[in-house]
Amino acid sequence: MSVLYFILIQLYGFLIRLGSLFSNKAKLWVRGRENWKQQLKNALSGNSKPRIWFHCASLGEFEQGRPVLEQLRKDFPNHFIVLSFFSPSGYEAKKNEVLADYVCYMPLDGPKTSKIFVSILNPSLVFL
């Protein structure tokens, strides 16, 4: 990861947090990522099924990928499917999606958070 990218991502996170004082969408973005590590651990606790991670940046991307997710559910009925979103538009609309076993926000990108997210999830298949 380049230093410039990392700096810009951190700046983006700061600006979203600042914007959350004025925007409900930004507030959802911030609140949705609170305590994400523990929430992910809790969702996976006691579950020994192989995991599939299906990430969509937004609701529109989810709708485009829905046929793939439907087929995954059919082809891998004994897998635990985690559906993640970057945007509140996707998460809020699909937080109760029946095709997934767990729906969450993707944490803000960065070397540490990405490594932690993947190590907790430990997916056997990934769809980005």
**CATH number, position 87:** 3.40.50.11720
Is 48 part of a structural domain of the chain?
yes
Give the whole-number percent of the chain exceeding pLDDT 90.
Answer: 80
Is 45 part of a structural domain of the chain?
yes
Q: Which domain holds residue 103?
A: 35-127
Domains contained in the chain, number: 1
- Is pTM, for the whole model, over 0.75? yes
| Whether the predicted pLDDT of 45 surpasses 90 | yes
pLDDT at 119: 96
Is 16 part of a structural domain of the chain?
no
**Tokens describing residue 35:** 């305590």
Is 2 part of a structural domain of the chain?
no
Q: Are 127 and 65 in contact (CB under 8 A)?
A: yes
Is 85 part of a structural domain of the chain?
yes
